[in-house]
């Protein structure tokens, strides 16, 4: 049945009133009719607008806050280059090494894609380690952001597994012996250790079945990482970003819209990061490589001095510092796993180290300790390095298990600013504060 003539305007008004009656949310529609059509059915455009354009970000965030975005871009760079590299790679013990040589010599821009991918792993870890340290220094792991932190540690573990399986693929000497040593870590498990290792290998040594499954896992895990990154970011957008003062956002004055303020800031940070990355790719593509990996894998001879990639060195030093197989392996894994418990070990209500006069120095000492352990991890397993590594390991675990909980109980934090904007506005436009 046709209704009597009603103008289009009042018709629309009627519709809106009906929607309000049914208590359906009235979504922001777009001028562009195609965008509006899509958005009414799947509000992906308004979600993107809310989370990446309007998203209120604390106005005092510094450049350390750019490393999350940098890490995300690195993940995408690794997935893109990895995808085309996988199309040229052969995961067979007889052909893997030469297929990588073919990528370097014959495939169009193969040399570029591989150096971007290979050094990209290091740049990804660099960005993520800075990102983690930023979270530790400014207390981003504390309530209400514990789950963001835990998801982040899961990403770190997945990245380690991905980096390790990827390192095995070129099937050089370091690849082969890294695979052997790392899989043998599981032989430390009491009773069933040997069975676990043989299960991981799919045989009695690292061989073709191992290489094949590592290739499959190396392809799969980055997409798992991407999934956890989405959860990590989704959880972040529930609580909102932390900031260098570590105090909660109290009013609109404390924030700026994500675009253009944070997007332009992140872009500049990414640009500087990309320049360093490009400098390594073009001027020192093998700087972080070990020459032994230019020798094809030989199961009958171990290189004299085997070391993991730099991003594993601190944990490797912990492994070698402990003179007991099982405890050494537990130390290695525990060094990463202990990060999961940081939000619960730290009882201090104050987030930012700017207002934690004592803890700040222990945290800096922790950074120096990690770098020191990293350096030791690359040294040969002999004195005095072993003793130093033991002291470093002691501080590493002592920091998390003793210093973090104790300092948080006894420390007297400095007075916090009333709000994020207060210290800025005090000097700038005073009259408006009233």
Partner 1 sequence: MNETSSSRGNTHIGGRERREFLGLLVGATGAVGAVAFTWPIVDSLNPAKDVLSLASIDVNISELQEGQSITVKWRGKPVFIRYRTQLEIKKAEDANWQKFRDPQSDTERVKKAKYIVVIGICTHLGCVPLGQKNITQRGEYGGWFCPCHGSYYDESGRVRKGPAPLNLTVPPYEFLDERTMRIG
Active site residues: 237, 241, 265-266, 309
Q: Which residue lies nearer to partner 1 by CB, 184 or 263?
A: 263
Both structure tokens of 274: 């990309």
CB of 121 to partner 1, least distance (A): 18
CB of 80 to partner 1, least distance (A): 6
CB of 424 to partner 1, least distance (A): 12
In whole angstroms, what is the distance from residue 79 CA to residue 226 CA? 9
Q: Which residue lies nearer to partner 1 by CB, 20 or 106?
A: 106
CB of 84 to partner 1, least distance (A): 5
Q: Which residue lies nearer to partner 1 by CB, 1 or 87?
A: 87
CB of 352 to partner 1, least distance (A): 25
Query: Residues with Cβ < 8 Å from 104, sequence gap 6 or more?
Result: 110, 111, 114
Q: Which residue lies nearer to partner 1 by CB, 268 or 387?
A: 268
Q: Which residue lies nearer to partner 1 by CB, 14 or 267?
A: 267
3-state secondary structure the chain: CCCCCCCHHHHHHHHHHHHHHCCCCCCCCCCCHHHHHHHHHCCHHHHHHHHHHHCEEECCCCHHHHHHHHHHHHHHHHHHHHHHHHCCCCCCCCCHHHHHHHHHHCCCCHHHHHHHHHHHHHHHHHHHHHHHHHHHHCCCCCCCCHHHHHHHHHHHHHHHHHHHHHHHCCCEHHHHHHHHHHHHHHHHCCCCHHHHHHHHHCCCCCCHHHHHHHHHHHHHHHHHHHHHHHHHHHHHHHHCCCCCCCCCCCCHHHEEEHHHHHHHHHHHHHHHHHHHHHHHHHHCCCCCCCHHHHCECCCCCCCCCCCCCHHHHHHHHHHHHCCCHHHHHHHHHHHHHHHHHHHHHCCCCCCCHHHCCCHHHHHHHHHHHHHHHHHHHCCCCCCCHHHHHHHHHHHHHHHHHHHHHHHHHHCCCCCCCCCCCHHHHHHCCHHHCC
User: Is 359 exposed, middle or buried, given 0-12, 13-18 or 19+ CB atoms closer than 10 A?
Assistant: buried
Q: Which residue lies nearer to partner 1 by CB, 9 or 105?
A: 105
CA quadruple 226, 231, 232, 236: dihedral, nearest 10? 140
Rg (CA), the chain: 26
CB of 257 to partner 1, least distance (A): 11
CB of 404 to partner 1, least distance (A): 39
CB of 88 to partner 1, least distance (A): 7
CB of 109 to partner 1, least distance (A): 3
Q: Which residue lies nearer to partner 1 by CB, 19 or 278?
A: 278
Of the candidates 246, 405, 395, 394, the one whose C-alpha atom is nearest the C-alpha of residue 341 is: 405
Q: Which residue lies nearer to partner 1 by CB, 52 or 186?
A: 52
Of the candidates 403, 401, 247, the one whose C-alpha atom is nearest the C-alpha of residue 339 is: 401
Task: Kindly list the residues in this chain that would bind partner 1 in the complex (CB under 8 A).
Answer: 80-81, 84, 87-88, 102, 105-110, 112-113
Q: Which residue has the tokens 């809106």?
A: 16
Q: Which residue lies nearer to partner 1 by CB, 127 or 130?
A: 127
């Amino acid at each position: 049945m046709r209704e009597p003539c009603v103008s289009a305007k009042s018709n629309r008004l009627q519709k809106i009133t009906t929607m309000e009656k049914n208590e359906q949310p009235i979504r922001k529609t777009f001028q562009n009719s195609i965008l509006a059509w899509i958005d009414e059915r799947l509000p992906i455009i308004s979600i993107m607008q809310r989370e990446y354009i309007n998203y209120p970000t604390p106005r005092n965030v510094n450049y350390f806050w750019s490393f999350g975005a940098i890490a995300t871009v690195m993940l995408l760079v690794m997935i893109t280059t990895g995808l085309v590299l996988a199309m040229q790679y052969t995961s067979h013990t007889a052909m893997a090494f030469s297929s990588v040589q073919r990528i370097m010599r014959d495939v169009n821009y193969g040399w570029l894609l591989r150096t971007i991918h290979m050094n990209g792993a290091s740049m990804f870890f660099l960005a993520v380690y800075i990102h983690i340290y930023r979270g530790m220094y400014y207390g981003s792991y504390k309530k209400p952001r514990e789950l963001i932190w835990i998801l982040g540690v899961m990403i770190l573990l997945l990245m380690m597994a991905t980096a390790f399986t990827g390192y095995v693929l070129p099937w050089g000497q370091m690849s082969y012996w890294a695979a052997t040593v790392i899989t043998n870590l599981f032989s430390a498990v009491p009773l069933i250790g040997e069975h676990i290792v043989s299960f991981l290998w799919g045989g009695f040594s690292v061989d073709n079945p191992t290489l094949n499954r590592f290739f499959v896992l190396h392809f799969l895990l980055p997409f798992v990482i991407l999934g956890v990154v989405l959860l990590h970011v989704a959880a972040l957008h529930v609580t909102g970003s932390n900031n260098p003062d570590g105090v909660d956002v109290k009013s609109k004055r404390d924030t700026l819209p994500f675009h253009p303020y944070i997007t332009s800031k992140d872009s500049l940070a990414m640009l500087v990061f990309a320049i360093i990355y490009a400098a390594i790719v073009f001027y020192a593509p093998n700087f972080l490589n070990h020459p032994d990996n230019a020798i094809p894998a030989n199961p009958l001879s171990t290189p004299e001095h085997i070391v993991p990639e730099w991003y594993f060195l601190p944990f490797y030093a912990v492994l070698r510092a402990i003179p007991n197989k099982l405890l050494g392996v537990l130390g290695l894994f525990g060094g990463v796993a202990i990060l999961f418990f940081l939000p619960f070990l730290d009882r201090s209500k104050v987030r930012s180290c700017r207002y934690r006069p004592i803890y700040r120095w222990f945290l800096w000492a922790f950074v120096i300790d990690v770098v020191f352990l990293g350096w030791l991890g690359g040294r040969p397993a002999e004195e005095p390095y072993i003793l130093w590594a033991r002291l470093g390991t002691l501080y590493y675990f002592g920091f998390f298990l003793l210093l973090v909980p104790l300092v948080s109980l006894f420390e007297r934090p400095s007075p916090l600013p009333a709000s994020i904007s207060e210290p800025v506005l005090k000097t700038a436009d005073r009259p408006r504060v009233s």
